[in-house]
């Protein structure tokens, strides 16, 4: 009687462990799919792939510009004024004078400005932040930046939205989840095989 209870408990534990492993594998597959349709296209689309050194030429804050969302059907809520910061640098790789943008997204949102703040109701904070960014550029005259080695884009960006390290880090967690799920499934199958072999003997 006790043996039957132990066997039943063992089977329940194996079933739960197997369901856990399959669930982990399924979750990792969903994470891979989500990363594949969101992060990977932005990474492959970016042409600013080569890092170099940029030397500051000038960082000026012009009069207020108006940012309008590029998405279709944008309403008045998507439009707000902010100071336009323009940063020009000397690209050491080619010696050209080019405009610097914060990220790839900055160029798409407003090609006239090097920095586009997020939507904020407090214009004073936005202005103070942009002035701080400009003073930091003037303080650090030389800094790393990214340019397009193919020459499609003549401008440069300060940082990539999804660098190679960030992409690897994004794939790290689903990989660990997938590996752990597969390991649990393999251990359950081994345990079942050993149990059947012991019963047969």
The reported pLDDT for the residue numbered 34 is 92
The reported pLDDT for the residue numbered 10 is 61
Beta pairing class for 142-147 and 156-157: antiparallel
Task: Report in angstroms the alpha-carbon separations of 6 from 109, 174, 178.
Answer: 65, 35, 30
The reported pLDDT for the residue numbered 86 is 92
The reported pLDDT for the residue numbered 80 is 66
The backbone torsions φ and ψ at residue 85, rounded to the nearest 5 degrees and listed phi first, read -95, 125
The reported pLDDT for the residue numbered 73 is 45
| Per-position DSSP letters for 112-142, written without gaps between them | T-S--PPP-S-HHHHHHHHHHHHHHHHH--E
Which pair of structure tokens corresponds to residue 142? 């030389």
The reported pLDDT for the residue numbered 199 is 66
Stated pTM of the model? 0.69
The reported pLDDT for the residue numbered 28 is 93
Side-chain half-sphere exposure of 137, counting CA atoms within 13 A = 26
pLDDT averaged per 10 residues in sequence order, the chain, 201 residues: 52 82 92 89 85 91 59 50 88 83 89 83 81 90 89 88 84 93 90 75 63
The reported pLDDT for the residue numbered 69 is 47
Helix, strand, coil percent values for the chain (each to nearest 5): 55, 20, 25
Using CA atoms, how far apart are residues 51 and 57, in angstroms rounded to an integer? 19
């Amino acid at each position: 009687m006790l043996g039957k209870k132990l066997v039943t408990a063992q089977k329940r534990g194996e079933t739960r462990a197997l369901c856990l492993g399959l669930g982990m594998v399924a979750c990792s597959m969903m994470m891979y799919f989500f990363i594949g349709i969101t992060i990977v296209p932005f990474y492959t689309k970016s042409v600013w792939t080569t890092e170099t050194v940029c030397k500051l030429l000038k960082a000026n804050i012009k009069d207020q510009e108006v940012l309008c969302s590029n998405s279709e059907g944008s309403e008045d809520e998507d439009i707000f004024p902010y100071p336009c910061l323009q940063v020009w640098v000397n690209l050491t790789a080619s010696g050209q004078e080019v405009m610097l943008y914060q990220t790839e997204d900055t160029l798409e949102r407003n090609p006239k400005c090097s920095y586009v703040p997020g939507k904020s109701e407090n214009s004073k904070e936005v202005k103070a932040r942009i002035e701080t960014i400009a003073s930091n550029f003037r303080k650090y005259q030389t800094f790393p930046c990214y340019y397009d080695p193919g020459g499609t884009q003549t401008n440069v960006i300060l940082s990539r939205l999804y660098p190679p390290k960030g992409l690897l880090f994004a794939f790290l967690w689903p990989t660990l989840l997938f590996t752990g799920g597969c390991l649990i499934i393999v251990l359950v199958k081994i345990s079942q095989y050993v149990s059947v072999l012991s019963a047969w003997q």
